[in-house]
């Protein structure tokens, strides 16, 4: 794994936990002293034949931990008399199997993991130093490779939900990884469009969209030699930014060292702009779109989509009738104006 040290252990109930560190740190042999407990209840996959989509019924998640105070946060490091999900007294980045998983090996198939970005309960991803972002990237790459090798996994999805407005249930800075036992609808739809475009023209639709945005420049928010961040021409969300590497790769694992360094710098820049836009923490979803494990990998183009439901300082974008019932989005902010505002929110 290059410059990052990986230490694997298990919690009392058998779930896997992995520490990712740039240097050797004490406490990686700390033991989970909590009662072992039992396995989580099983989710159920149901198929909707009208939409040709899978729906996961995970009723046990109704009882998951909901917005605990800092003194009861399960993702903070353990302290004397207060054991948590992380046995060590400190950490840099940690990945662990989710205690309330949507997908489980042997049941629905797949797997769900939690990625703790920092031991600091009050931090956010935008607060991380570039070196720590690089450790997170190494963790994403490691988990993408390992989860892709599991039987029945069809796509690995790394993402972060940030902000109570988005619906987070834990305030501690963290993200998640879903190893889906199917290819999700959005991926299938995108790859079908790319395939049809290639059959008609012989071109790569992803690469052409990136080239067009870079040439136009009106919606580019920030860029460096290896990545470009832009508001897409047909943005669905009030503030939506896509980050593309200039080289086409299928997944995070395929990024070279220089590309990982360049992403860390650009992503921190864009997240800072989001938070400065309205002078308050911006709720967002950050979603990595990676190639499926087996399905048309040659058509995929790794990119990250960052979007917020906040459309003004005191207003949120709700998915109402048109979006929720019909899937037809209506955006209140012109993409060009969103890009202009985000460019103006630079340092």
Q: Which residues are catalytic?
A: 174
Please give the Cα distance from 236 to 107 (Å, whole number).
Answer: 35
Q: Does 172 carry a binding-site annotation?
A: yes
To which residue do tokens 């054991």 refer?
A: 83
Task: Give the residue among 4, 5, 18 at the shortest CA–CA distance from 85.
Answer: 18
76 is in an annotated binding site: yes
198 phi/psi in degrees, rounded to 5: -65, -40
Sign, Cα dihedral of 324, 326, 327, 331: negative
Task: Measure CA of the first residue to CA of the last residue in the chain; give whole Å.
Answer: 33
Q: What is the DSSP letter of 339?
A: H
Is 121 assigned to a binding site?
A: yes
Closest CA to 336 of 235, 245, 244, 243: 235
Sign of CA dihedral 211, 217, 218, 222: positive
d(CA 20, CA 1): 10
Binding site: residue ranges?
73, 76, 121, 172
* Numbered residues of the known binding site for Zn(2+): 73, 76, 121, 172
């Amino acid at each position: 794994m290059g410059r990052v040290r990986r230490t694997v252990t298990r919690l009392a109930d058998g779930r896997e936990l992995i520490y990712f560190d740039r240097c050797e740190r004490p406490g990686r042999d700390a033991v989970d002293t909590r009662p072992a407990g039992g396995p989580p209840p099983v989710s159920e996959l149901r198929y909707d034949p009208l939409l040709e989509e899978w729906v996961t019924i995970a009723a046990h998640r109704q009882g998951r931990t909901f917005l605990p105070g800092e003194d009861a946060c399960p993702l903070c490091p353990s302290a004397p008399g207060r054991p948590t999900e992380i046995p060590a007294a400190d950490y840099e980045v940690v990945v662990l199997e989710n205690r309330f998983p949507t997908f489980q090996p042997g049941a629905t198939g797949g797997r769900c993991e939690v990625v703790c970005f920092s031991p600091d309960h009050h931090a956010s991803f935008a607060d991380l130093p570039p070196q720590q972002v690089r450790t997170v990237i190494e963790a994403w790459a490691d988990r993408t490779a390992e989860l892709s090798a599991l039987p029945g996994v069809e796509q690995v999805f790394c993402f972060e939900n940030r902000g109570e407005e988005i619906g987070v249930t834990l305030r501690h800075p963290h993200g998640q990884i879903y190893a889906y036992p199917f290819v999700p609808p959005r991926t299938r739809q995108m790859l079908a469009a790319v395939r049809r475009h290639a059959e008609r023209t012989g071109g790569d639709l992803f690469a052409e969209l990136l080239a067009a945005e870079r040439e136009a420049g009106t919606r580019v928010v920030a860029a460096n030699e290896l990545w470009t961040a832009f508001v897409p021409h047909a943005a669905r969300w009030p503030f939506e930014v896509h980050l593309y590497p200039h080289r086409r790769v299928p997944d995070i694992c395929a990024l070279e060292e220089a590309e990982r360094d360049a992403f860390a710098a650009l992503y921190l820049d864009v997240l800072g702009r989001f938070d400065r836009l309205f002078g308050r923490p911006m709720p967002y979803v950050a979603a990595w779109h990676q190639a499926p494990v087996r399905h048309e990998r040659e058509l995929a183009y790794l990119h990250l989509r960052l979007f917020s439901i906040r459309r003004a300082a005191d207003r949120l974008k709700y998915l109402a009738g048109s979006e929720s019932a019909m899937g037809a989005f209506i955006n209140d902010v012109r993409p060009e104006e969103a890009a202009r505002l985000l460019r103006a929110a630079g340092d």
